[in-house]
């Protein structure tokens, strides 16, 4: 069992490395294609189905600045796999270098508890939880842009701020149960 | 059978015209009438109808060639042109009375395609027949499906409503129940909701299980009388009424197309609702608003219907008509169609019909919920154009009514939690800005938490958009306040249709929360985006609203911008930002002084905290010291670096670097001025502008460049005499008015 | 035209969707082009039926002609109803030389020997398939054309597909088939489904298969575009492995659209936490049904995406391998 560590390797100049973990291996490819188009910094994308990562290419792998878990809310397996993968991350990652992306949140077949469970998990780990429209190209582009915003901060490319600071602003909170909000 | 139609003494077309024609004694008309009658007597279709109205009960149907021939004739007409109201009446009566047994019944029902409208008497009579004779169950169901299909073509609903209780009694019939519930759903009005009916439905539910059609009807009852229905309705109800594959739909559309009838629109009304409720079977155009184009009704029918009490909304074509019929408007079955008609909206706005709004809210809530929150395909095959148009329409309705709908607000609170920040962004931000005041206890969880996550992870343009949206929201809240606040009562209504009130102090808390929230977003946003001037501009827009809350909107509340906004705006390299900041500070001052004055006049008035004055004074002193006194490094300043450190930087006269001459935003103006003032001089010495006369000229020059904010600020915050004479009269008096402010030093003008 | 023919025609027209009615009638060729033109296909189905009955009456068509129309429709749209598969075994020496004419004669005579009053119609389809329509009658009554059995077979292959066969007629039909194709035995092949074409493709292996090799596929030319340079699949090898194994079991490309697979378990109940059940000696009987619009495609996806473990368990891989979708699983052995 190999633990992925945030600070075990040296960063490269003007480079950001992102690891996209998705059990279904579908949306990550779209995101990756958009992410590498960034020109201001060199973005390297690593795609994985789950953690831990294989030992063979451990040496050649650059330092991972941001780990993104992509979770399809219509599939229980997707959530379970992400949850199981979490334990292969060094605790240092949870200081602002982990992020969850939920897809299909507006799908009718999402089980009622699933979204809440994911929120709970993200809130517990102090991680941001983004929602993505993975079905449309515009949705993929916009999600990639948002990830890039976080990635730049997480890899230390934005002056005046740190990953921990940003995550304290964006981390997930549990929303109230709002069906018909009553103000009494 | 009360009114058995009899065609023996008058022909079919006479029926509808009876009321008009019998009263008239116009000869020429009568002659024309007779001629027409003669002609029609030979028409096989008329003969066929006559057969059906006259045929004796008990005539055998099997092997009856006469029946067969006549039926084929009627069918031919029905499938090509549709049937006239009278023909429908005759045929329906024939079928439902089972005069020739039940075998031709289904076939007759299948050809009942109305050409224009369906007379409601015929429907009422048929419903009565349902109980009298034993119709086969399949035929009963077929009849109910037919009624639901042509519901919007029924010329009036008053008599149907009158037998509401009678129709309700069919609920116990297991086979008919789904259809009866749907029909009741379309007919129900507030006065129909009774305890015993609720009880019956619940009883039925315990018998049949939680059927969606029962839940749908119950939820409508709950909308009308929440106190009677204690049942909790699940928020994610699947389609309530099934999309019955009606045998008439395609034929009806074909008939309408062929006839090129204007009623087509009312058909689409009827189908739209079925499409809506059956989200799983929907294929296209589910977000189309049912249209409310007026049906062209023939004169006699209009006369007929005006003798009845209600006028359908569809018939109202002008504002004048609306005014005339205001008291007896019949709302359409699909409340969604109201959104498409400005007349209907006028009606909604002035009548304040609670049940209409309830129904509209109910419809809107479910539509938004099904289409955007929990769509069956996750939005994959969604036509984005459709959603866009729907939301745009909703937005324009909200602008028209100048308020939002409860249901769309509730939808927004939920949607923000799963929004990706880019899907339909302009529309969603538009709807967001229409959200009414939220009590400060809930504002954080409902609004701020989701927005904060979106704001900090999204692009610069989203940040700008959100700040602008929040600015609009604040403006609307303040406008509501000035419009709805009662003089003697501090309670203000959140929304003209709801009874939720909020106290003035509650309202102030909410506004304060909002302003503080934007302040937080703005400070950190500027920091993350490296003080981007576009973002700064939107933020200053927001503070232009905030600084005037007291004078423009009469809200006794002044909130100063946080240092994270003030200093980036001051140190900005573009003169526009500095100028706007000066303008905002000027407005703050005007607001604060007049608030102070009012505080003195009215004893019990409000109290603006000393903290606010202190903050204001600190900013004011900083501005004056930097811009005017060329003394950035005064002892009480917020931004302070040790002199040694500054000296090390090698910048000469570092303390003067942000005065009006050396400020990076103005230095180009200073150079230009210098060049114009002393054209001959070779070496520029900007400090020479500081002499009394050139200084005043320089100020004049700046003011002519359009820096009105700066002008207001200088003219009001710095004593005129200082400027004019430059002999150093202090402006302490002014700033002392605003609470115990630190001493503002005299301008260092030589 | 008698009443039964009329009735048959009415039933048939009701079955044919309105959009296909015209083309089907065109292929029939029993009505002249003029008569066909006189039909207005925009009318309601009911009226069309009436007019069609009148036309047929005028042309003096009989039940025989109507059954032709039915056969045309069924041949064109075979993916209806439930098709069951049978397998002919133990061929005689001359089984390979049976040709159509001989088969036709033999089949008809064998069937008539077994049952009087059967109406048999045999036609060869373009794709070598022999279509047989059998309308059964009792000893006394005339054949019931409303419930006809359809049989599809390919001469010189062991598979026979049967639709709408009652258990009463099953032994008769099977015997006639065995004899006329010169075989000694016929048995159920444990494969059934709605789509005849899918069953056929599966049994005749008419889909793209992959055969296991020692060496994985040749190296693909490396793509040097920027996205390929900077995007790397960390677990690419494992994923490629899964895809290869899924392909070896289920093949590449389009798969026959099988809709379901049923496993009937008759095994001992094994659960250490539930002693009462575990100690029972009788097997625990239950049935597991997988269904999908395209089952094989779904199973392949499960294997290649890692939802199902690879290598694919023999339970699932024997569906394409053995061409069956009904299995009875007893302890230790996988038998029918």
Q: Which residues pair with C186 in a beta bridge?
A: C88
C65 Cβ neighbours under 8 A, 6+ residues apart: C30, C56
What is the rounded CA–CA span in Å between residue B500 and residue B498?
Answer: 5
| Confidence at B131, pLDDT banded by 50, 70, 90 | confident
Number of separate domains in chain B:
3
Residue predicted with more confidence, B320 or C298: C298
* pLDDT above 60 for C287: yes
H helix runs in A14-111, sequence order: 27-35, 76-85
Rounded to an integer, what is the distance from CA C238 to the centroid of its chain? 36
User: Per the CB < 8 Å rule, is C43 touching B107?
Assistant: no
Best residue of B75, B77, B104, B247 to probe chain C, by most C CBs closer than 10 Å: B75
H helix runs in B352-496, sequence order: 354-368, 384-401, 406-416, 425-433, 440-443, 449-457, 460-484
User: Per the CB < 8 Å rule, is B72 touching C44?
Assistant: no
Q: Nearest-CA distance from A120 to chain C in Å? A: 25
A115, A75 contact by CB (below 8 A): no
| Confidence at B300, pLDDT banded by 50, 70, 90 | very low
Where is average pLDDT lowest: B304-318, B439-453, B588-602? B304-318
| Confidence at B291, pLDDT banded by 50, 70, 90 | very low
Are B578 and B701 in the same domain?
yes
pLDDT at position B540, please? Answer: 96
Highest mean pLDDT among A1-10, B202-211, B498-507, B633-642: B202-211
Chains that touch A (3 or more CB pairs under 8 A): B, C
* For chain A, domain boundaries: 16-170
pLDDT at position A129, please? Answer: 93
pLDDT digits (tens, 9 = 90+) for B656-705: 888 888 899 999 999 999 888 888 887 878 888 888 888 888 989 999 99
User: Per the CB < 8 Å rule, is A47 touching C231?
Assistant: yes
Whether B190 is in a domain gets the answer no
Range of the domain at B530: 436-553
Give the pTM.
0.70
* pLDDT above 70 for B488: no
E strands, B229-387, in order: 311-312, 329-330
Are B465 and B601 in the same domain?
no
B181, B175 contact by CB (below 8 A): no
Are B588 and B730 in the same domain?
yes
What is the rounded CA–CA span in Å between residue B292 and residue B170?
Answer: 31
Whether B298 is in a domain gets the answer no
Whether B351 is in a domain gets the answer no
Whether B504 is in a domain gets the answer yes
A147, A68 contact by CB (below 8 A): yes
Return the CATH fold of C83-203. 3.60.90
Strand order in the sheet with A15-22: A129-132, A98-103, A66-72, A15-22, A42-48, C231-233
Q: Nearest-CA distance from C52 to chain B in Å? A: 15
Return the CATH fold of A16-170. Rossmann fold (3.40.50)
Q: Which residues pair with B502 in a beta bridge?
A: B492
What is the rounded CA–CA span in Å between residue B363 and residue B369?
Answer: 10
* pLDDT above 50 for C231: yes
User: Per the CB < 8 Å rule, is A139 touching B457?
Assistant: no
A157, A14 contact by CB (below 8 A): yes
C289 φ, ψ (degrees, to nearest 5):
-120, 125
* For chain C, domain boundaries: 3-76, 83-203, 233-335
- Picking from A129, A130, A183, the nearest residue to B500 by CB comes out as A183
Q: Give the single-character DSSP code of B444.
A: I
Q: Nearest-CA distance from C287 to chain A in Å? A: 25
Best residue of B378, B386, B568 to probe chain A, by most A CBs closer than 10 Å: B378
Q: Which CATH number fits domain C233-335: 3.30.300.30, 3.40.50.970, 1.10.3720.10, 3.10.20.720?
A: 3.10.20.720
Are B623 and B739 in the same domain?
yes
What is the rounded CA–CA span in Å between residue B734 and residue A178?
Answer: 50
Please name which of C218, C250, C240 lies closest in space to residue C306, comparing C-alpha atoms: C240
Averaged confidence pLDDT in chain C? 83
**CB proximity C217 to A under 8 Å:** no
Q: Nearest-CA distance from A133 to chain B in Å? A: 7
A131 Cβ neighbours under 8 A, 6+ residues apart: A101, A102, A103, A105, B418, B419, B420
User: Per the CB < 8 Å rule, is A54 touching C234?
Assistant: yes
Are B609 and B474 in the same domain?
no
B497, B398 contact by CB (below 8 A): no
- Angle B608-B609-B614 from CA coordinates, rounded to 5°: 115
Are B445 and B524 in the same domain?
yes
HSE-up (13 A, CA, CB side) for residue B284:
1
Where is the domain boundary, B262, B280, B298? B280
ipTM attached to this prediction: 0.92
- Picking from A115, A161, A176, the nearest residue to B527 by CB comes out as A161
pLDDT at position B354, please? Answer: 65
- Picking from C231, C306, C307, the nearest residue to A32 by CB comes out as C231
**Other Cβ atoms within 10 Å of C213 Cβ, number:** 9
Residue predicted with more confidence, A24 or B261: A24
């Amino acid at each position: 069992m190999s633990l992925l560590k945030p600070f075990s390797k040296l960063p490269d100049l003007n480079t950001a490395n992102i690891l996209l973990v998705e059990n279904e291996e579908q949306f990550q490819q779209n995101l990756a294609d958009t992410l590498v188009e960034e020109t201001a910094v060199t973005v390297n994308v690593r795609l994985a189905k789950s953690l831990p990562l294989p030992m063979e290419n451990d040496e050649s792998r650059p330092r991972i600045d941001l780990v993104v878990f992509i979770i399809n809310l219509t599939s229980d397996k997707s959530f379970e796999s992400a949850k199981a993968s979490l334990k292969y991350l060094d605790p240092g990652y949870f200081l602002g270098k982990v992020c969850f992306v939920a897809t299909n949140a507006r799908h009718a077949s999402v089980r009622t508890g699933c979204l809440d469970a994911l929120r709970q998990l993200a809130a517990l780990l102090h991680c941001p939880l983004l929602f993505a429209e993975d079905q449309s190209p515009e949705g993929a582009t916009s999600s990639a842009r948002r990830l890039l915003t976080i990635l730049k901060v997480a890899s230390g490319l934005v002056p005046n701020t740190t990953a921990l600071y940003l995550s304290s602003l964006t981390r997930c909170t549990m929303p109230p149960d709002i069906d018909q909000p009553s103000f009494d | 059978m009360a009114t058995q139609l009899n065609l023996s003494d008058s022909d079919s077309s006479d029926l509808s015209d009876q009321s008009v024609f019998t009263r008239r004694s116009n000869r020429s008309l009568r002659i024309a009438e007779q001629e027409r009658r003669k002609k029609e007597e030979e028409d096989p279709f008329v003969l066929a109808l006559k057969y059906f109205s006259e045929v004796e009960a008990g005539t055998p149907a099997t092997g009856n060639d006469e029946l067969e021939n006549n039926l084929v004739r009627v069918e031919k007409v029905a499938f090509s042109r549709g049937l006239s109201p009278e023909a429908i009446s005759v045929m329906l009566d024939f079928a439902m009375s089972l005069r020739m047994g039940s075998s031709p019944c289904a076939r007759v029902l299948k050809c009942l395609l109305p050409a224009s409208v369906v007379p409601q008497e015929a429907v009422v009579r048929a419903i009565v027949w349902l109980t009298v004779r034993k119709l086969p169950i399949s035929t009963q169901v077929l009849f109910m499906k037919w009624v639901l299909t042509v519901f919007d073509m029924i010329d009036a609903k008053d008599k149907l409503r009158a037998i509401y209780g009678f129709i309700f009694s069919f609920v116990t019939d297991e086979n008919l129940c789904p259809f009866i519930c749907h029909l009741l759903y379309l007919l129900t009005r507030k006065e129909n909701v009774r305890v015993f009916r609720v009880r019956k439905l619940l009883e039925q539910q315990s018998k049949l299980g939680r059927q969606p059609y029962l839940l749908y009807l119950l939820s409508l009852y709950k909308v009308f009388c929440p106190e009677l229905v204690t049942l909790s309705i699940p928020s994610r109800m699947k389609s309530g009424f099934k999309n019955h594959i009606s045998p008439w739909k395609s034929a009806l559309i074909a008939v309408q197309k062929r006839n090129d009838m204007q009623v087509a629109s009312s058909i689409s009304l009827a189908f739209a609702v079925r499409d809506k409720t059956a989200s799983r079977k929907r294929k296209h155009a589910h977000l189309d608003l049912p249209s409310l184009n007026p049906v062209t009704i023939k004169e006699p029918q209009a006369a007929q219907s005006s003798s009845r009490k209600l006028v359908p909304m569809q018939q109202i074509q002008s504002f004048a008509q609306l005014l005339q019929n205001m008291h007896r408007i019949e709302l359409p079955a699909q409340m969604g169609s109201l959104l498409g008609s400005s007349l209907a909206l006028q009606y909604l706005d002035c009548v304040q019909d609670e049940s209409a709004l309830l129904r509209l809210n109910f419809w809107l809530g479910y539509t938004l919920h099904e289409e955007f929150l929990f769509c069956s395909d996750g939005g994959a095959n969604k036509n984005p154009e459709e959603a866009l148009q729907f939301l745009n329409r909703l937005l324009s309705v909200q602008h028209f009514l100048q308020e939002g709908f409860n249901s769309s607000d509730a939808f927004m609170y939920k949607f923000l939690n799963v929004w990706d920040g880019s899907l339909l962004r302009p529309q969603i931000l538009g709807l967001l800005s229409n959200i009414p005041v939220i009590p400060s206890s809930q504002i954080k969880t409902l609004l701020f938490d989701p927005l904060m996550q979106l704001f900090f992870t999204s692009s610069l343009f989203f940040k700008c958009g959100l700040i602008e949206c929040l600015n609009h929201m604040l403006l609307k809240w303040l406008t509501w306040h000035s419009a709805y606040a009662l003089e003697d009562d501090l309670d203000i209504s959140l929304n003209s249709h709801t009874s939720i009130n909020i106290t003035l102090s509650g309202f102030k808390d909410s506004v304060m929360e909002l302003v503080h929230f934007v302040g937080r977003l703005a400070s950190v946003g500027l920091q993350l985006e490296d003080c981007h001037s576009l973002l700064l501009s939107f933020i200053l827009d927001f503070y232009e609203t905030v600084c005037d809350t007291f004078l423009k909107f009469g809200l006794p509340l002044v909130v100063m911008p946080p240092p994270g906004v003030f200093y980036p705006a001051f140190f900005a390299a573009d003169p526009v930002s500095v100028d706007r900041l000066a303008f905002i500070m000027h407005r703050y001052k005007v607001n604060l002084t007049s608030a102070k004055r009012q505080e003195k006049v009215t004893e019990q008035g409000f109290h603006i905290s000393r903290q606010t004055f202190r903050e204001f004074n600190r900013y004011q002193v900083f501005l004056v010291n930097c811009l005017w006194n060329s003394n950035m490094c005064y002892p009480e300043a917020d931004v302070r670096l040790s002199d040694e450190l500054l000296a090390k930087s090698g910048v000469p006269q570092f303390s003067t670097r942000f005065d009006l001459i050396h400020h990076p935003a103005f230095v180009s103006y200073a150079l230009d001025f210098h060049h114009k003032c002393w054209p001959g001089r070779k070496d520029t010495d900007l400090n020479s502008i500081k002499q009394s006369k050139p200084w005043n000229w320089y100020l004049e020059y700046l003011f002519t460049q359009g820096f009105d904010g700066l002008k207001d600020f200088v003219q009001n915050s710095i004593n005129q005499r200082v400027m004019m004479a430059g002999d150093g009269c202090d402006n302490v008096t002014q700033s002392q008015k605003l609470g115990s402010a630190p001493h503002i030093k005299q301008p260092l003008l030589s | 035209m008698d009443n039964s023919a009329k009735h048959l025609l009415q039933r048939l027209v009701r079955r044919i969707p309105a959009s296909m009615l015209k083309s089907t009638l065109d292929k029939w060729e029993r009505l002249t082009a003029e008569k066909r033109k006189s039909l207005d296909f925009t009318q309601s189905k009911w009226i069309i039926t009436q007019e069609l009955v009148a036309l047929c009456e005028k042309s003096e068509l009989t039940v025989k002609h109507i059954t032709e129309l039915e056969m045309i429709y069924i041949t064109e749209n075979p993916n209806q109803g439930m098709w069951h598969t049978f397998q002919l075994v133990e061929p005689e020496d001359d089984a390979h030389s049976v040709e159509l004419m001989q088969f036709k004669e033999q089949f008809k005579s064998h069937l008539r020997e077994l049952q009087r009053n059967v109406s048999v119609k045999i036609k060869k389809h373009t794709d070598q398939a022999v279509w047989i329509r059998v309308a059964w009658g009792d000893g006394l009554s005339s054949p019931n054309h409303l419930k006809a059995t359809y049989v599809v077979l390919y001469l010189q292959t062991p598979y026979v597909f049967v639709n709408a066969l009652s258990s009463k007629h099953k032994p008769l039909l099977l015997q006639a088939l065995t004899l006329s194709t010169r075989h000694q035995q016929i048995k159920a092949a444990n494969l059934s489904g709605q789509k005849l074409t899918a069953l056929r493709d599966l049994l005749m292996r008419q889909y793209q298969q992959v055969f296991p090799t020692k060496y994985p596929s040749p190296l693909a030319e490396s793509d040097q575009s920027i996205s390929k340079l900077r995007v790397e699949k960390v677990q690419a090898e494992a994923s490629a492995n899964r895809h290869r194994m899924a392909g070896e079991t289920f093949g590449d490309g389009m798969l026959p659209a099988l809709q379901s697979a049923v496993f009937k378990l008759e095994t001992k109940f094994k659960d250490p936490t539930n002693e009462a059940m575990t100690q029972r000696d009788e097997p625990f009987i239950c049935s597991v049904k997988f269904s999908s619009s395209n089952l094989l495609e779904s199973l392949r996806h499960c294997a290649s995406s890692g939802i199902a473990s690879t290598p694919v368990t023999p339970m699932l891989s024997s569906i394409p391998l053995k061409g069956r979708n009904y299995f009875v699983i007893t302890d230790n052995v996988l038998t029918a």
